[in-house]
Homo-oligomer: A and B are copies of this chain.
Amino acid sequence: MDQKAFQDYYPDELSHCYGCGRHNEHGLQLKSYWVGEETVAIFHPKPYHMAIPGYVYGGLIASLVDCHGTGTASAAAYRKEGREMGTAPPLRFMTASLQVDFLRPTPMGVPLEVRGRIEEVKGRKVVVSATVSAGGEVCARGKVVAVQMPEHLMPKAELA
């Protein structure tokens, strides 16, 4: 994609997350983008991300919904304030609650599309609904209630 991913706008000290941090070499390094009013991330599961042979592990799907949700929340909050992503002070979100309904087993061997829709932006809270699809078929639906990270949890820049 031509755009820069939401997660690549996070400051260095907020880019260690296992799910989406570009500085976490062991992690999933999820990348999320705007597509019109919705947001999209494409993820290629590794063969070991399996539940049973042929199918993707549910915890991975929950992790994709989670990090795509907080990334979408950040992008939505910047958009609402009319600010460019990445401008200070950073608007970084954490998950207050996560819900995932597994509609059908998610097949291995195809890229997964995580699609987010912003349901609500209110004060420090953003609600994002999401689908996870494989080969054009929705395999899971999720919802993330994300809240802006409080100041006292924000790591100092020199930790990065």
Contact = CB atoms under 8 A, between A and B. Distances in A.
A94 interface: yes
A155 interface: yes
* Chain multiplicity (copies): 2
A50 B17 contact: yes
Contacts of A52: 13-14, 16-17, 149, 153-155
A49 B50 CA distance: 19
A86 interface: no
A27 B56 CA distance: 13
B17 A57 contact: yes
Contact of A96 (B14, B98, B101): B101
A53 B13 contact: yes
A26 interface: yes
Interface string A37-56: 00000000010111111110
A66 interface: yes
A97 interface: yes
Interface in A62-103: 62-63, 66-67, 94-102
Interface of A: 13-14, 16-19, 24-27, 46, 48-55, 57-60, 62-63, 66-67, 94-102, 105, 149, 153-155, 159
Q: Which 6 A-B pairs have the closest CB atoms?
A: A59-B63, A26-B48, A62-B62, A18-B57, A97-B101, A98-B100
